[in-house]
Amino acid sequence: MLVGTPIGNLDDLTPRAAAALATADVIACEDTRRTGRLLAHLGIAAPKLLVANDHTEAEVAPDVVERIAAGQKVAVVTDAGMPGISDPGELLVRATLDAGFTVEVVPGPSALDTALVLSGLPAGRFCFEGFLPRKGSARRARLETIALEQRTVLLYEAPHRVHRTVGDLRDVCGDDRQIAILRELTKLHEEHWRGSLADADAMLDDRSPRGEYVLVVAGAEPPVSADDATLLAALEAERAAGRSTRDAVAEVAQRFGEPHRRVYDLAILD
């Protein structure tokens, strides 16, 4: 059973979640100290706690399945929020389902949903990128994908990396792309900030970020399709420069972001 836990304010734990924890035979958790404090707050005598974090989840999955097979009730929690969303839980769910058992979910608070509705950005269509890769080609590729994404994009980020990530987003998305930066959601020092990526970069220059961050980035504007006359003029200019029809089509299609077939059809009809 996956149990959503508070992302900051302990009063956000639902009665159903509290009952699930109180009746569990075993609780798989990221940090026994954090979960122990939550159970103490609820007045629940701690059952057996298994550590299922990023390093141990795969190792404890067989144990969890064996306990379920033996009739034990296993609850899975993370330090905050819903297990499996940028937190351990996915491997435990997969192992349980593969073994033929059902998985129950007790919903709870989510930083993802909370940030999205607080951002003021379109929430009808969005995508969640979680934590970006920290460096290298994988990070560049994800940033370039975000720059072209037309849906609202949500990311999680640690305080010591948030300034760098905002700067990298500014590089690929441009100064004017809008962003909402939300910190310490549901906690005493919750903060919301909204503006352009350029202003966000400058704002973070003057801060020593603390707490957990959610970044909500506005989607890219849909590309404006070039009309036939513009494409034909560009094709003519490429040919005049000595390019073959094939090379001219490739160049114009790439420059305007138009389908190769459309530009080719114009070229052969010209």
Lowest mean pLDDT: which of 60-69, 137-146, 222-231, 232-241?
A: 222-231
Q: How far apart are CA 138 and CA 51, in angstroms?
A: 29
- The pTM score is 0.80
In the predicted model, is pLDDT for residue 270 greater than 90? Answer: no
What sign has the CA pseudo-torsion 64, 68, 72, 77?
A: positive
Name 60's Cβ contacts closer than 8 Å, sequence gap at least 6.
28, 50, 51, 52, 92
Percentage of residues of the chain with pLDDT beyond 90: 88
Q: What is the number of other CB atoms lying within 10 angstroms of the CB of residue 111?
A: 23
pLDDT of residue 223: 75
Reported confidence tier of residue 16, pLDDT bands at 50, 70, 90? very high
pLDDT of residue 130: 95
> How confident is the model over 193-204, as pLDDT tens digits?
999 999 999 999
Name 100's Cβ contacts closer than 8 Å, sequence gap at least 6.
none
Name 96's Cβ contacts closer than 8 Å, sequence gap at least 6.
64, 65, 68, 102, 103
> How confident is the model over 137-171, as pLDDT tens digits?
999 999 999 999 999 999 999 999 999 999 999 99
> How confident is the model over 101-131, as pLDDT tens digits?
999 999 999 999 999 999 999 999 999 999 9
Q: What is the number of other CB atoms lying within 10 angstroms of the CB of residue 97?
A: 12
pLDDT of residue 209: 80
**Residue among 74, 73, 85, 75 nearest 7 (CA):** 85
